[in-house]
Amino acid sequence: MAKLRLALAQYDFAVGAVAANAAKVGGLIAQARSGGAGLVAFPELTLSGYPPEDLLLRPSFLAACDDELKALAERTHGIAAVVGHPHSEGEVFNAASLLRDGKVECTAHKQALPNYGVFDDKRYFRPGHATVTTVIDGVRLGILICEDVWQPEPVAQAAASGAELIMVINASPWDECKQAEREAVLQARAQESGCAIVYLNLVGGQDEVVYDGSALLVNGNGSIAARAPAFVDALLWAEFDPATRTLSAEDWPVAADSSIEATLYAALVRGIRDYIDKNGFPGVLLGLSGGIDSALTLALAVDALGADRVTAVMMPTRYTSSLSLDGARAQAERLGVEYHVIDIEPTVDAFIIALAPAFAGKGSDTTEENLQSRTRGVMLMALSNKHRKLLLATGNKSEMAVGYCTLYGDMCGAYAPLKDVYKTVVYRLARWRNRAGIGDWGFGIRKGALPLDAGFSRIPNPQSPIPEEVIERPPSAELRDNQTDQDSLPPYDELDAILGRFIESEQAQAEIVAQGFAADTVRLVVRLVLLNEFKRRQSAPGPRVTTRAFGRERRYPITSGWH
């Protein structure tokens, strides 16, 4: 029995870029055909990009997707293609169509519509009711879409129809737990059905989510035949042997470092690059304080965009230490970015003088501290406007959770790379980045036989990109004399442990206290989280990398009597 040669398009397809996506699909179909593939597959909602959200409510958008699908079908002589797209026939379906011999041969509709986490499928789509199977080069193939494979029934339907191989196309966002969950589900479905499974996933950043690719080949007995690296765009070649129901990969790239730090760092880099490039900005700027958060953000930005597209600005006051000034300058020089120092002390003094009559009789408090932060925000926004460089906010998830940040101050920015990264993880990533060095940095790939480019920029200086003194210093906002974060907050190890239990695990306060945390500390942290929802609603978007991100995933009311 002949083997089926497959080409899997693990690529980014941008939301709304229907014509450009179709052009990319057409080029990849031709490439797959010239390489001898009998079938080429593309991710979920390839033509529209994922998630298209309320674009799906516009008839002209749906019509454009339909027109491009029909035009692509005309390019499938000598090869079959599975293409994801929205399908409108009175109602709108999340669909995957098989294109072959110049026509749309059959269309599968997504049956299981997720409506949790970042997913809103039930808002836009109607569910399908049957698994579609077809025959490609003598192999009976079942076609499923993302959530379908997480349920037993669609796979069982395919097996009952005689399927030997199941193609699952996906737009599955990455988080720190996702890959292990995927593999467990796919192995279970393969063992239940006896079908081999090809798992193909989207790559790229889209607003607050990042898609990792990480294609998988699973044999009919449930064993993993191959794993593609995360965040790498590639046309992946594979073969299916129907006699043994096994899959084999052909020269797939291999991650040089598959640790959680390496993959998370790559996710953040991809999120930054795609947000900036897809929105047409020439580069970014950020406030560089000499602290760990802005230091990591700067390293990420340079790795994502290259030093020539990044500007760093230090804005000292009387409270800024020489350690901060020296650390910021050292990092800017090591990374080779444009660097400015703007003394904001005169501007802050001018604000205080102007406000003095209205402040009469009131002593100094956090108002004056926040004026410093807000002055920095004004300066950075002015530079952003003048140079058309997008401003990156540098705050982390720990700060966002408890409101240790200033509205219209350090929260200013159009994108926040560390928004879903806890402070303790910021330290881990900074140390990992320094260990990774200049060469492959650990998140590159061993190229094998494929002409792939991991896409990460190089930096000019062989020293570690984040000075060790910046990593080792006690964290401080430096808004008053001798200030440290721990004046206002529990130690970050303790804070993050409580936040993870309350936010990601949704544990009650009593449960957290029972695990050994002081009751007063738990009450303080929970109160701060609940009180500061209003700040988070006004924060910049940032890449979702945990299982419970603020924003579209964790939605709590601002006004609430529940404490």
Q: Are the C-beta atoms of 347 and 375 separated by less than 8 Å?
A: yes
The dihedral of CA 71, 69, 17, 39: what is its sign? negative
Tell me which residue of 250, 198, 204 sits closest to 224, measured CA to CA.
Answer: 198
Give the residue, 443 or 123, on which the prediction is more confident. Answer: 123
Q: What is the mean pLDDT of the chain?
A: 92
DSSP string for residues in 442-473:
TTSEE-TTS-----PPP-S-SS-SS-HHHHHS
Residue among 291, 289, 287, 288 at smallest CA distance from 474: 291
Indicate whether 271 belongs to any domain: yes
β-strand pairing of 165-170 with 196-201:
parallel
In this model, does residue 477 exceed pLDDT 70?
no
Q: Which residue has the higher pLDDT, 551 or 186?
A: 186
176 catalytically annotated: no
Contact 38, 4 (CB under 8 A): yes
pLDDT of 453 above 50:
no
Residue-level pLDDT at 223 = 98
What is the helix (H) or strand (E) element at residue 340, kind and residue range?
Answer: strand 338-341
Query: Do 66 and 181 have their domain in common?
Result: yes
Is 63 in the same domain as 209? yes
Does 80 fall in a domain? yes
Residues 145 and 55 in one domain: yes
Which of 65, 146, 195, 412 is the catalytic position?
A: 146
In a domain, 496, yes or no: no
> How open is the CA angle 266-490-523, to the nearest 5 degrees?
110
Is 432:442 a contact under the CB 8 Å cutoff?
yes
The DSSP-derived string for 214-259 is --EEE-TTS-EEEEPPBT--EEEEEEEETTTTEEEEES--EES--S
Is 126 a member of any domain?
A: yes
> Which residues, 6+ apart, have CB-to-CB distance to 306 below 8 Å?
457, 458
Whether residue 237 has pLDDT greater than 80 = yes
Domain boundary among 252, 281, 299: 252
The residue among 263, 148, 150 whose CA lies nearest residue 214 is 263
Looking at the structure, tell me whether residues 226 and 93 fall in a common domain.
yes
Question: Catalytic residue at 146?
Answer: yes
Residue range 243-272, pLDDT digits in tens = 999 999 999 999 888 899 999 999 999 999
Q: Is the pLDDT of residue 18 over 70?
A: yes
Q: How many domains does the chain have?
A: 2
110 in Cβ contact with 79 (< 8 Å): no
- Model pLDDT, residue 561: 86
pLDDT score at 482: 62
Q: Given a cut of 90, is residue 454 above it in pLDDT?
A: no
The verdict on 206 and 266 lying in the same domain is no
Longest Cα–Cα distance in the chain? 90
In terms of C-beta density within 10 A (0-12 exposed, 13-18 middle, 19 or more buried), how is residue 117 classed? middle
Angstrom distance (rounded) from CA 61 to CA 48? 8
Confidence of residue 444 (pLDDT cuts 50, 70, 90): very low
pLDDT of 101 higher than 50: yes
140: its two tokens:
């009976």
Task: Select which of 110, 389, 423, 535 is catalytic.
Answer: 110
Residue 63: closest CA among 86, 45, 42: 86
**Strand 196-201 relative to strand 216-218, pairing:** antiparallel
* 319 in any annotated domain: yes
Give the tens place of pLDDT for each residue, 387-429: 999 999 999 999 999 999 999 999 999 999 999 999 999 999 9
> Of 65, 59, 129, 143, nearest to 97 (Cα)?
143
pTM of the model: 0.93
What per-residue confidence (pLDDT) applies to 479? Answer: 62
Q: Which residue is it, tokens 């760092």?
A: 265
What confidence tens digit (pLDDT) does each residue in 28-38 have?
999 999 999 99
Residue 327 makes CB contacts below 8 A (sequence gap 6+) with: 290, 295, 467, 469, 470, 473
pLDDT of 189 > 50? The answer is yes
CA atoms lying within 13 Å on the CB side of residue 106 = 13
**Residue 106 designated active-site:** no
On whether both 214 and 334 belong to a single domain, the answer is: no
Q: Does residue 220 sit in the same domain as residue 282?
A: no
The per-residue pLDDT for 319 is 87
pLDDT in tens, 355-385: 999 999 998 889 999 999 999 999 999 999 9
Same domain membership, residue 429 and residue 285 = yes
282 pLDDT higher than 90: yes
Q: d(Cα 11, Cα 33) in Å, to the nearest integer?
A: 17
In a domain, 13, yes or no: yes
pLDDT of 452 > 50? The answer is: no
Query: CA–CA separation, 207 vs 96, rounded Å?
Result: 24
Alpha-carbon distance 553 to 544, whole Å?
Answer: 9
Question: CA–CA separation, 316 vs 332, rounded Å?
Answer: 15
Given 221, 252, 283, the domain boundary residue is 252
Task: Give the C-alpha separation, 129 to 495, whole Å.
Answer: 47
Q: 124 lies in which domain range?
A: 4-252
217, 233, 252: which is the final residue of a domain?
Answer: 252
286-334 pLDDT tens trace? 999 999 999 999 999 999 999 999 999 999 998 888 888 999 999 999 9
What is the C-alpha separation between 455 and 438, in angstroms, rounded? 14
Q: Which of 129, 236, 215 is nearest to 172 (CA)?
A: 215
Structure tokens at 155: 């796979």
Domain for residue 116, yes or no?
Answer: yes
Residues 189 and 284 both lie in one domain: no
Output the pLDDT for position 440: 42
pLDDT of 234 reads 97
Look at residue 553 and tell me if it is in a domain.
no
One domain for residues 222 and 341? no
pLDDT at position 551, please?
87
In 3-state terms, what secondary structure has residue 65?
helix
Q: Residue written as tokens 């094998």?
A: 448
Same domain, residue pair 242 and 285: no
Q: Give the CATH number of the domain where residue 29 resides.
A: 3.60.110.10
CATH number, domain at 421?
Answer: 3.40.50.620
The catalytically annotated residue of 3, 24, 44, 278 is: 44
Tens digits of residue pLDDT in 104-145: 999 999 999 999 888 999 999 999 999 999 999 999 999 999
Element housing 347 (H / E): helix 345-359
> What local confidence, expressed as pLDDT, does residue 117 receive?
87
Nearest to 42 by CA among 236, 192, 282, 193: 236
Residue 2: pLDDT band (50, 70, 90) is confident
- 204 lies in the same domain as 297: no
